[in-house]
Amino acid sequence: MAVGFGHTAQDRRVRLLGEPVDAYPRVAPEAARGSVRRITVVGEEILGRRCQEVTRFGTTELSRLIDDMFATNQVAEGAGLAANQVDVDLQLFVWDITDEWGVRHVGHIANPVLVEVPAGQRRLIEESEGCLSVPGPYRMVPRLDRAVVRGRDRNGEPLVIEGRGYFARCLQHETDHLRGRLYLDRLARRDRKAALREMAASKDELFARRAALAEKLGK
């Protein structure tokens, strides 16, 4: 998912895997360790099907993948990134996002499942949304303003992550990816075609920008 920013909150501590921490580096340690991978683009087969569950936890390979996803997300100036966006068929996504209240959320989750929000607590918000696999265009997409996701961390420990506002949108967007769905699939056909035309006109410039930032960061 492409990045967005916000304003105020009473407690602005970084939320690491949902828990507040008193100090956190500007660059996530995973992003500092990781290497940049190619981001898949709409039309590639892996983006259009449901990903496989993560079954092996606590491995060097899984940790390296998470590190690389953080690094790739940083270079692409994203808010979140799913494994199939780096051509890996696994139910896994990462996030590093600042919400409307100025709170930064950082983490990863494997095998995420969106918890159904009770009808009385549902509030649908239509806001602009983009995607690193659809480089360039943004479109208005309705999403719930609250999301709860259950899954596992890299070691297989249970995780429950709750988001509101823009972070809730990110959690829903990335979970959609792992089900083989892009935000484009939520648009009317005419709007989808217009977004694809816009992407075709702007993607080369964005790819060059990502490459330049990767070089600047030594990635």
DSSP H or E segment with residue 1: none
Q: Which tokens in the block code for residue 96?
A: 């590093």
Identify which of 101, 104, 91 has the alpha carbon closest to the alpha carbon of residue 150: 91
Cα–Cα dist 202/25, whole Å: 32
- Evaluate the CA torsion angle 188, 189, 192, 193 in order and state its sign: negative
Active site residues: 174
Cα–Cα dist 54/75, whole Å: 25
Helix, strand, coil percent content, the chain, rounded in steps of 5: 35, 30, 35
